[in-house]
Amino acid sequence: MESSSTLFFLCDLQTRFRPVIYEFEHVVASTNKVLKVAKILGCEVVVTTQKAKVLGPTDPAVNLDSLGSLHVATCDKTLFSMLTTEVETILKDRPAVKFVVLMGIESHICILQTALALIAHPAKYITYVLADAVSSANPAEIPIALAQMRAAGVIVTTSESLAFQLIRDASAPEFKAFSNVIKEEKDATAKAVETLLGRAGLERSAL
């Protein structure tokens, strides 16, 4: 896995869903950590919203502005999968992309359908889902969705594990900045993993 061939997908993390999504704030915290890592390593990020005219924009707590040009686009959709015509064009324009990493909501709907579409795509994208950066309104849905994705060939992992897969080497020139992010986010990471993976039963059922 290399940063130059990795694209991050952030799915429908909109303010309107904040009151109903299980531990929404921890999903945002994990997402923001990943965005910091993406910026350090130069990974691009594609964002979607679900019917933004009705459901509003991406939650302002998600620090997309920090990405600059690495924030490729925010694409509105009605499709549950993120693979809209617009997103398909973004992928087509980036033939070097081999790995796609999914974050956002909901685990058993848009994340699941996106993951399955990526696995079935002619380009055969190697697809990762970050278990501490996804959630659903009903937490009992999450481990079932992750199990289905794993059975289909999706790699279910955590934000910190994936981040270290991308940096690969402590001698990398970006490692100091990377290490600072990991240290700064240590407490938030522990809370997100404990809450989203532990209390929802994910560590037993899906990981």
Options 11, 59, 77, 132, the catalytic residue:
77
pLDDT value, residue 204:
44
The stretch 117-129 carries a mean pLDDT of: 96
In a domain? residue 171: yes
Residue 186 is predicted with a pLDDT of 87
Query: Is position 206 within any domain?
Result: no
Catalytic, out of 11, 12, 43, 59: 12
- Residue 207 inside a domain? The answer is no
In a domain, 66, yes or no: yes
Residue 99 falls inside a structural domain: yes
Percent of the chain with pLDDT over 90: 86
Mean pLDDT of the chain: 93
Distance CA 39, CA 70 (A): 7
Name the strands in the sheet holding 71-77, side by side, starting at the edge strand that comes first in the sequence.
71-77, 44-50, 6-11, 99-105, 126-135, 155-157
- Name the active-site residue from 11, 33, 36, 110: 110
CATH of the domain at 44: 3.40.50.850
Mean of pLDDT values over 103-113: 97
**How many domains does the structure of the chain reveal?**
1
Decide if 77 is catalytic. Answer: yes
Query: Which domain covers residue 15, as residue numbers?
Result: 3-201
Active site residue 11: no
> Judging by beta carbons within 10 Å of its beta carbon (0-12, 13-18, 19+), is residue 176 exposed, middle or buried?
exposed
Query: Is residue 132 flagged as an active site residue?
Result: no
Residue 45 falls inside a structural domain: yes
Whether the per-residue pLDDT at 205 is higher than 60: the answer is: no
pLDDT tens digits, 139-177: 999 999 999 999 999 999 999 999 999 999 999 999 999
Task: Provide the pLDDT for residue 148.
Answer: 96
Token pair of 142, please?
């999450």
Region 107-125: mean pLDDT is 96
Structural domain contains residue 153: yes
